[in-house]
């Protein structure tokens, strides 16, 4: 009897140990979210040079830690807002000749770009000049060329049509005309200290006489945004005729009449025709 109870108890314990509650399911593991890319580099794109009175838009691009790039809106600053100012969208406006450093910052990254601000001489100019000196030789002395221009201090009219370009915005091309009498192409540049330096060398043929006209030593500066002051010299010669005429001149008033840079062509006047008849007659002596 006792033995039978022991056997039954053993069986009950054995069944309880093997047939209890079912094993628990494995715990699900939630993957960690991917790390947010961070900014590793910042780049500014835009012009290297800007003329006064003009604006240009600059952009900022970041490189992220995952290797991708994207355009961003950074915080923009100019190292000298009196030369050029920048707004929150990256628009840089040129005010005065010089150089500035444009800086962009975004999420701890920073980038800088040097931008030259160049004095703007482009457009149409019109005004008067004063003759400060006149010299003549050869046949020009014979026909009293200087006297025909009037005494020292006499004034004349002139126009300029200038286009300003190039990657550095300093290259000048255009046309110069003196009273509609002599006109031709000019080339030059804007110097680092904001001077306009141009020259011209062209020929005009009329009544069988070819004239060579040269403008040299031109140096001028802006006066405000629409005026120009300066000096130059010019010389006139007739090919095959001895001698030449030389004048030194100063701008009296030269005003920008239009910002348009479309080239203009000035017609030749009777002055060159009259002079050619003088010289032709002298050559025939």
| 73-87 mean pLDDT | 97
Q: Rg of the chain's alpha carbons, rounded to an integer?
A: 40
Tens-digit pLDDT profile for residues 30-52: 776 777 888 899 999 999 999 99
Segment 79-103 mean pLDDT:
97
Looking from the CA of 284 toward its CB, the CA atoms found within 13 Å total 8
Q: What is the pLDDT averaged over residues 148-160?
A: 92
**pLDDT confidence of residue 149:** 87
Residues 103-144 have pLDDT tens digits of: 999 999 999 999 999 999 999 999 999 999 999 999 899 988
CB atoms within 10 A of CB 135: 14
Q: What is the pTM of this model?
A: 0.80
**pLDDT of 5 strictly over 50:** no
How far is the C-alpha of 196 from the C-alpha of 121, rounded, in Å? Answer: 8
User: What is the tens place of the pLDDT at every residue in 172-206?
Assistant: 999 999 887 788 999 999 999 999 999 999 888 87
What is the chain's mean pLDDT, rounded? Answer: 86
Average pLDDT for residues 205-214, to the nearest whole number?
85
How many beta carbons lie within 10 A of that of residue 35, not counting itself? Answer: 8
The residues, ordered by sequence, that sit 6+ positions from 243 with a Cβ below 8 Å of its Cβ are 136, 137, 138, 139, 140, 141, 142, 237
pLDDT at 110: 95
State the first-to-last Cα distance of the chain, in angstroms, to the nearest integer: 168
Please answer whether residues 266 and 180 qualify as being in contact, where contact means their C-beta atoms are separated by less than 8 angstroms.
yes
Task: Quickly state the pLDDT bin for 87 (edges 50, 70, 90).
Answer: very high
């Amino acid at each position: 009897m006792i033995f039978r109870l022991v056997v039954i108890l053993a069986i009950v314990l054995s069944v309880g140990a093997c047939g209890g509650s079912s094993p628990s399911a494995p715990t699900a593991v939630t993957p960690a979210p991917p790390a947010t890319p961070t900014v590793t580099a910042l780049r500014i794109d835009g012009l290297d040079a800007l003329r006064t009175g003009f604006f240009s838009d600059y952009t900022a691009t970041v490189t992220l830690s995952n290797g991708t790039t994207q355009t961003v809106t950074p915080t923009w600053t100019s190292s000298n807002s009196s030369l050029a100012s920048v707004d929150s969208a990256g628009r840089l406006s040129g005010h005065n000749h010089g150089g500035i450093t444009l800086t962009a910052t975004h999420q701890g990254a920073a980038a800088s770009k040097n931008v030259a601000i160049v004095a703007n001489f482009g457009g149409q100019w019109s005004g008067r000049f004063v003759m400060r000196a006149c010299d003549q030789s050869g046949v020009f002395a014979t026909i009293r060329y200087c006297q025909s221009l009037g005494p020292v201090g006499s004034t004349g009219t002139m126009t300029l049509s200038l286009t300003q370009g190039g990657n550095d915005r300093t290259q000048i091309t255009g046309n110069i005309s003196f009273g509609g009498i002599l006109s031709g192409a000019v080339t030059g540049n804007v110097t680092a200290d904001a001077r306009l330096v141009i020259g011209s060398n062209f020929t005009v043929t009329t009544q069988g006489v070819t004239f060579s006209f040269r403008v040299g030593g031109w140096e001028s500066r802006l006066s405000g945004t629409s005026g120009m002051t300066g000096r130059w010299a010019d010389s006139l010669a007739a090919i095959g005729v001895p001698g030449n005429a030389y004048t030194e001149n100063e701008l009296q008033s030269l005003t920008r009449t239009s910002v348009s840079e479309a080239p203009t062509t000035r017609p030749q006047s009777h002055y060159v025709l009259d002079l050619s008849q003088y010289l032709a007659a002298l050559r025939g002596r």
